[in-house]
Structure 1
């Protein structure tokens, strides 16, 4: 709902700019201000908005445009590109710089985040995505904190036909992940996915548990999952997780 409203506001700002008879600095300025207001109302961090505004201003030089260039298209493209960078900081960076699971090589990916953020469902989707690409995934439930966590992962994995590992009896998540990783390595899985307990930055014991899980499994990638609708509160949570594990 928030994203739909934000998208509508940005689209209207660009449409108002496009409908102007003449595109000058005043129209450009009004367009950017409308977009800035929409982002602020969506609880986007002010620093991100300020950086985006400055980048667009640097890219779009209305006075320096050669004859025949469409000011409307250049402004629209600049806004689009900067919004993409805001949502995905990897935009424009070579894909060779990032980690991707590969067939024939065992990789471990650990998912972390707040409780109720959708980690278990995301883990299954991630596994299914690479399964369709020909890799053999395995799901490990390291969430011994939430009631029904293993049942949920088991249900999702069974539906997607993905091997899974967990325990109803064992309460030590470190022991579970070590056993699960070892088992899936023996079964020649290309991708081993660890679904961990949800935790908040103020829960020191659970953060220590997360560090232990990371140390025990040495994951190739740690993915932080959260609900974007919490707005700027996401920044503090993301920072806390990053200080504990290599998100």
Structure 2
């Protein structure tokens, strides 16, 4: 997985502090040198890495810390904050609104996966009630219209293009006008892939942008591009008003760090990451949870969030209702593990989940449905261990994981009810939550679901 190596390197760098008897300037310097090396090896731009290192040093004044302060935690938080700053454009991306016509123009390098990403972007919004349409303004690449037509047919959305017309501006304008008349509220314009050296194609891209007046221009960046990412992204930004970035091919084995430089070059936020070729393999990108995972925060909760995404639509209200009421039982955890099986291979954590399910198969209904941890007496734990063929220690580990998740959900609900006071802006509320907590509830997407449920419940209504 892209960035898995970087995440491991960053975790090991922070781990240097764990073995140190005293955390002093030397330990801090060694830790930052390892982090710097890891980022440079991952193709993150040198200037960005240098600035991050300097910012961490300014933020961590070991001599000024009060006695008893956890210096390791202070350093880790400083590193976390600076990595977030590296990826945070400082502004939210434009968000399409249902029922209001919106034009989104896709630009990017040749071979970045732009056309496939257009299809996945359309499908993502189609699932949440939008009426998308695709326009092929790529007259440069042979087979571009055929590919877009196949993609559009696959997800059953209307499309527009031409085998005869060679003027991409004319095609784009005609397509946008047609779909406005057909009341499509998300009109996606796919343009020709290009390199920054191709002045004529950049001029063409600028003309398409001026003619269609898109509400949002999305720059599609291949995660394997390496050190060239910054210069290429900057060239696009100088030609058209890039407002968001989608990073593709995150399922490969490239270093991936160069793509992160695109955020600094375009001064635009990453909104999605592509993790495969299939229509559903486009994931929301949230800075803080993403960095949290890089630094080793979050494990099982992130998988449970994936499990919620494959819960049948008719069962989702019941699931969220149980979560909002604080009824996070062992049975609910077991059901989410079952849902994970519908995703296919989930990699890291899969063996642990299978062990947990084997042990829960040896529990009684009363044990699975109770939210009272005191119910699990020693005799019950021994019986479950024997019945599942697992050591007692494994059962205790599973129960500790359950308690942690149950407590986490309880804290999330209490915090939302206490702190938001009617505020339903997930972006704003996320900044007040600890990064570990935001990671565990599934990032901004999970937070939005919880907010919707909170508001619905307080208003006495159903789903919004």
TM-score by structure 1 length? Answer: 0.91
Equivalent residue number for residue 204 of structure 2 = 209
2:195 maps to what in 1? 200
The answer to whether 1:241 aligns with 2:232 is no
**CA offset digits 1:162-219 (Å, max 9, x no partner):** 2221122222111111111011101111111111000111112211111110111011
Say whether the 8 Å CA contact 1:109–1:219 is kept in structure 2: yes
Measure, in 1, the Cα distance between the counterparts of 2:130 and 2:63: 52
Higher Cα Rg: structure 1 or 2? Answer: 2
Compute the displacement of 1:58 (Å). Answer: 2.1
Question: Offset at 1:69?
Answer: 3.4
Greater mean alpha carbon deviation, residues 56-65 or residues 145-154: 56-65
Specify every segment of 5 or more residues in structure 1 that has no aligned partner in the other structure, as ranges.
Answer: none
Determine whether 1:173 maps to 2:168: yes
Structure 1 counterpart of 2:122, from 127, 148, 154: 127
Q: Identify the residue that residue 44 of structure 1 maps to in structure 2.
A: 44
* Residue pair 1:2, 1:42 contacting (<8 A) in 2 also: no
The aligned counterpart of 2:70 is: 70
| Aligned with 1:137 (options 129, 132, 135) | 132
Q: How many residues align?
A: 242
CA distance in structure 2 between the partners assigned to 1:177 and 1:145 by the alignment:
14
Which deviates the most, 22-31 or 229-238?
A: 229-238
1:69–1:123: structure 2 CA closer, same or farther, 3 Å change rule? Answer: farther
Q: Give the secondary-structure state (helix, strand or coil) at the position aligned to 2:10.
A: helix
Asked if residue 110 in structure 1 is aligned to residue 132 in structure 2, the reply is: no
- Alpha-carbon distance between aligned partners in 2 of 1:73 and 1:163, rounded to the nearest angstrom: 52
Match of 1:152 among 134, 147, 156: 147
Alignment of 1:18-37 (within 5 A): 18-37=18-37
What's the secondary structure of 2:196's corresponding residue?
A: coil
Q: 1:89 to 1:30 in 2, by over 3 A?
A: same
Q: Which moved more, 1:228-237 or 1:181-190?
A: 228-237
Structure 2: how far apart are the matches of 1:2 and 1:40?
15
Name the CA shift for 1:125/1:85 in 2 (closer, same or farther; >3 Å). Answer: farther
Structure 1 segments of 4+ aligned residues over 6 angstroms from their partners: none
Q: Residue 151 of structure 1: CA displacement?
A: 1.6
| Alpha-carbon shift at residue 116 of structure 1 (Å) | 0.1
Matched residue, 1:59: 59
